[in-house]
Amino acid sequence: MSSDGLGRPGSESSTFGNRAVSVPCFQFERDGSFTRREISKAEIIEYARKKTALPPPRLIKRWLNAYNDQSPNLDMLSEQLDIKGDYKRQRKVLRKYLKTSLQPRDLRQVDPAFPQKPAIWVRHSAIIASLEQVRSIIFHDTMLLFDPDNSVVKRCTQFVQETLYSSGYEEMFLPFEFRALEGFIIFVTTVLEFDFLRVSEEVKKSIGDPRSMLTTTVLEDMRIDKQKLSHFISRACIVHDVITELLEDDEDMANLYLTEKHRSPWVIRDSLDHEEAEMILESYLQIMDDLTTKAKLLDHEIDDTEDLVSIHLDTLRNRLIMMQMLLSVIGLGVALGSLIAGMFGMNLPIPIFESEFSQWWFLGTSVLIIVLLVVVPFFSVTYLRKQSLYSGSIGSPMGNFDGVD
């Protein structure tokens, strides 16, 4: 158990389905040290509410739902929060506080029993981050990493520890929650960068020479690499969208300053005053932009390679068709010669065979057959070329395709 009053270690490890049941997690302190412990949903909610000087959300909700609109409790709370305006504005600001306070349903995001939804939620006294199999809750002085038996979470602890382990001078300019969130995002971007390098090497290896891809094994490997790249693009786009969504919400950006709200709970920060948080998130958003752009360009390169392979296959198919066409034309000439030879070779009495010039008839018939074997294919190919149905020649039946070989 830590000395910050976050709760007592539980003796039973399970899901958050029961308020009394605890789940294991890594708890990080300001100096980067961390311990493994167990914590329940009730302890997390109680700790989040203790870190603010405001009344419990249930009490504020009871005041807002009271029949007496001029509640003295609400007036006093509005004075403490320096909420200027009429009663409607007071109710609007306080309802916004209720909306941004940590609720039990928010803990589903970090519960391993529920499917993970990639997101970074900013609450009044906590930041809930869930990306790349890592689930975390960040307070102004403590960070919890859930599912500690997961190998990905164990790797994340190294990045968070290195980020939190800083001098007092750095801490003076960058509060704990920013360093913890930055360590979390550094791990996510590093994992994506490493995965992109691995996938890109496999893809570039598979799309080397298109002429060597005309095998089932190579084409199947390229299909698998394309699936891996598509999966990576989906992961990178999800992280990119989560950071972009947070950057576009000025109120959430202002609520990131948990340490400031802990020190001055009655001061409401201007929703446009979040330069430090914006600079941190913009730097990692730029990294994600670069990764997604490179991945999409590589995906387009695979598509271009597939188109080139398809063109190469079509070219080979056309060559085979031309070869078949040429053989058919030659077969036509042979068939005509066979027809003439067959007619003269029939066992029938023909006067020309009994004349003294029979040898000349034989020689003439033989010459005619030879001429047909040459002339018929030649004129047939010439006609097909005029009709743009054949682009080869008799001497080169496979055609002439520049740039393919």
Q: What is the DSSP string of 327-359?
A: HHHHHHHHHHHHHHHHHHTSSS--HHHHSTTHH
In this prediction, residue 10 carries a pLDDT of 44
Whole-angstrom Cα distance, residue 189 to residue 291? 9
The CATH number of whichever domain residue 138 belongs to comes to: 2.40.128.330
Most confident of 122-131, 213-222, 309-318, 338-347: 122-131
In this prediction, residue 333 carries a pLDDT of 73
Give just the sign of the alpha carbon dihedral 175, 178, 184, 188. Answer: negative
* Structural domain contains residue 41: yes
* Structural domain contains residue 141: yes
Number of domains comprising the chain: 2
* Structural domain contains residue 270: no
Among 82, 116, 150, which residue terminates a domain?
150
* Strand arrangement, sheet containing 134-138: 34-40, 22-28, 143-146, 134-138, 127-131, 119-122
Structure confidence by residue, pLDDT tens digits, 42-81 = 888 888 777 555 555 555 655 555 544 555 555 666 655 5
Amino acid found at 32: G
* Structural domain contains residue 404: no
* Structural domain contains residue 99: yes
Among 98, 129, 150, which residue terminates a domain?
150
* Structural domain contains residue 211: no
Percentage of the residues of the chain whose pLDDT score is greater than 70: 70
* Structural domain contains residue 158: no
* Structural domain contains residue 12: yes
Global confidence as pTM: 0.72
Among 150, 176, 203, which residue terminates a domain?
150
In Å, how far from its chain's centre is CA 212? 29
Q: What is the mean pLDDT of residues 112-125?
A: 87
DSSP conformational letter for 313: H
Domain that holds residue 377: 310-386
Half-sphere exposure of 387 (CA within 13 A, CB side): 8
Determine how β-strand 143-146 pairs with β-strand 134-138.
antiparallel
Whole-angstrom Cα distance, residue 239 to residue 196? 14
In this prediction, residue 293 carries a pLDDT of 93
